[in-house]
Amino acid sequence: MIEPVVLFFLLGIVAGALRSELRLPGAVYEFVIILLLLAIGLKGGVELARQELAVVLPQMLGVVAMGAFLPLMAFPVLRGLGRLSRADAASVAAHYGSVSVGTYAVAVSYFTNRSIPFEEYIPLLLAVLEIPAIVVGIILARGFSLGIRVKSVAREVLLSKGIVLLLGGLFIGWIAGEDGIGSITPLFFDLFKGILALFLLEMGLITAAQLGSLKRHGVFLVLFGIAMPLFSALVGTALGLWFGLSVGGTAMIGTLAASASYIAVPAAMRISVPEANPTLSLAASLGVTFPFNVLVGIPMYHGLAVNAHLLWGAA
């Protein structure tokens, strides 16, 4: 059974590929992203209030380590097999160590449709996972002589829309609690799937726009854009298992690991590593990895988590 929201994504891709004039107005797209980020943050915050710090803190450190580890794995492959320049390899690697909130949102929809429970404070881990890969990416490109723009980049990342809304939502949800956010439920939660559908429609159009540059950059990027998330999902699944998460939660960490950034990291890399070609990273992350994860990845990572739990879980 294919998700209805995924059909919207396919509609966007087809319309974009046929060069339809369809396009979500800029302000509407911004609004849709703001709603998604806040909804995800709020949900996470409510759940976070029920958690012990002693449980959550080690998991935060665990995903930070994963966010730093994944680009370090990707970088030599991009340099060696992909023959990318140092800056390009570092930038692409950073995209793959970071996360995509859009992919997480699709996973939320996938798991709730199937009534598969997962640890709902995961948005906190999502917010944390955005950052380490950016730092590693900059170091891979620049070495430790970070140069003058560090402050601007730090500002750009920490005060970016994504981080502020996600953390802000978490905070509000945490303070307000389940009962407190009841009054805003209609907008943020009842409409979640409809908003996600609009978001995916535009993402389809954006993905289709990447297909041209994908053709120019060839087979390697396509293979990397599929192989890297598969490898990352294994790492994420192992981490979720080690955290002792449920099957759904383990699959979520796998999905987060597999997803590649296309908003926070491109903006940070553009400023800190200007010589890296932005179309390369975006073609891979948006043209290959995002559609791969949305269409086939998430069910695969779910299967992976189920099997991992059968083999090693709850022993």
Partner 1 sequence: MKRHVRKLLTVVTEAAVESILIKEMESLGAQGYTITSARGKGRRGARHAEWMPNSNIRVEIVCDAATSEAIIKHLHEHYYAHYAMIVLCADVEELRPDTA
Q: Give the interface with partner 1 as residue ranges (CB under 8 A).
A: 23-26, 29, 149, 152, 155-156, 206, 209, 213, 262-263, 266-267, 270-271, 274-275, 278-279, 282
Within 10 Å of residue 185's Cβ, how many Cβ atoms?
14
DSSP secondary structure letter of residue 21: S
**Looking at beta carbons only, is 193 or 270 nearer to partner 1?**
270
Residue 28 or 296 having the CB closest to partner 1: 28
Q: In the bound complex, what is the minimum distance in angstroms from residue 270's beta carbon to partner 1?
A: 4
In angstroms, give the least distance from the CB of 202 to partner 1: 8
User: Which of 70, 62, 76, 73 is closest to 97 using CA atoms?
Assistant: 70
Of 85, 70, 134, the residue nearest 265 (C-alpha)? 134
When the beta carbons of 59 and 210 are compared against partner 1, the nearer one is 210
Tell me how far, at minimum, the Cβ of 74 lies from partner 1, in Å: 19
Provide φ and ψ at 109, rounded to 5°. Answer: -65, -40
- Is the distance from CB of 290 to CB of 100 less than 8 angstroms? yes
**Choice between 181 and 203, CB closer to partner 1:** 203
Residue 33 beta carbon to partner 1: minimum distance, rounded to whole angstroms: 10
Only one residue has tokens 């949900």, namely 43
Instruction: Look at residues 132, 117, 124 and name the one whose alpha carbon lies nearest to residue 250.
Output: 117
Which residues fall within 8 angstroms of residue 194, CB to CB, at 6 or more apart? none
Between 63 and 267, name the residue whose CB sits nearer to partner 1. 267
DSSP output for 5-49: HHHHHHHHHHHHHTT-S----HHHHHHHHHHHHHHHHHHHHHHHT
Amino acid, single-letter form, for residue 121: Y
CB closer to partner 1, 166 vs 253: 166
- From the CB of 25, what's the least distance to partner 1, in Å? 7
- Other CB atoms within a 10 A radius of the CB of residue 281 amount to 27
CB 103 within 8 A of CB 165: no
Give the shortest CB-83-to-partner 1 separation in angstroms: 20
Smallest separation (angstroms) from partner 1 to the CB of 156: 7
Q: Do 34 and 105 touch, CB atoms closer than 8 A?
A: no
Q: Tell me whether residue 5 is exposed, middle or buried, using C-beta atoms within 10 angstroms of its C-beta: 0 to 12, 13 to 18, 19 or more.
A: buried
Q: Measured from the CB atom, is 185 or 279 closer to partner 1?
A: 279
